[in-house]
Amino acid sequence: MRRQLRALLDRFDTAVDGGEAGPPKAVVIKVDSPGGKVSGLNATCARIKSTARELGIKLYSYPNEMAASAAYALSCACDEIIVPDSAIVGSIGVISTLVDVTRMDRQDGVRFEFITSGQRKTDGHPHAAINAGAIAAERKRVDILAQQFFSMVKEARGLSIGTIMGFQAGIFLGKQAVDVGLPTTA
């Protein structure tokens, strides 16, 4: 996702430059993505938003069929979100996966021994058993990132954190998404 965000910022910078004519009055960001990793996302959204405000450019997001999760967060950097009736919008939440293949390792006769500099160093390593401490540490990270996402949506769409959490990271189609307040218009 980081490479995609860099490419997005490059295209955005080109769009807002406007050359000799100067900055445009508006920029449409076409989005079609199920989302991705959070790495670099918040900084990218903040940069897009601040650059547009500095230059007096109105930003529109057009989810061309999908703006879910990180792609929806990107849309929240825009002043308005305009969706076609068939667009999928939402998935406001965070997911993290811990994988434990230790049973398969044992069946295959493979044993891993970890020498680490800290108790949490093997958290999330697929060849280390998942334990309650690893789950608790990851839950804390997920909750912090989710609160950041919820706050971004609250600021962009004017919805309460309770309403956003009530969506349970669900997705909505076009008019249904408008009815719950995620895009501006269909």
pLDDT digits (tens, 9 = 90+) for 93-112: 999 999 999 999 999 999 99
Please state the pTM of the whole predicted model: 0.89
pLDDT confidence of residue 186: 67
**pLDDT grade, residue 121 (50/70/90)?**
very high
Is the per-residue pLDDT at 2 higher than 80? no
Where in the chain are all domains bearing CATH 3.90.226.10? 1-91+170-186
Backbone angles phi, psi at 55, to 5 degrees: -90, -5
**pLDDT grade, residue 8 (50/70/90)?**
confident
pLDDT confidence of residue 3: 79
Q: Evaluate whether 92 touches 67 at the Cβ level (below 8 Å).
A: no
Of the candidates 100, 96, 98, 99, the one whose C-alpha atom is nearest the C-alpha of residue 142 is 96
Q: Which residues of 147-180 are buried (b: 16+ CB within 10 A; e: fewer)?
A: eebbebbbebbebeeeebeebebebbbbebbbeb
- Stretch 49-64: mean pLDDT, rounded? 95
One CATH from 3.90.226.10, 1.10.260.40, 3.90.1150.10, 3.40.50.720 for 1-91+170-186 = 3.90.226.10
- Stretch 81-99: mean pLDDT, rounded? 95
Distance CA 124, CA 151 (A): 27
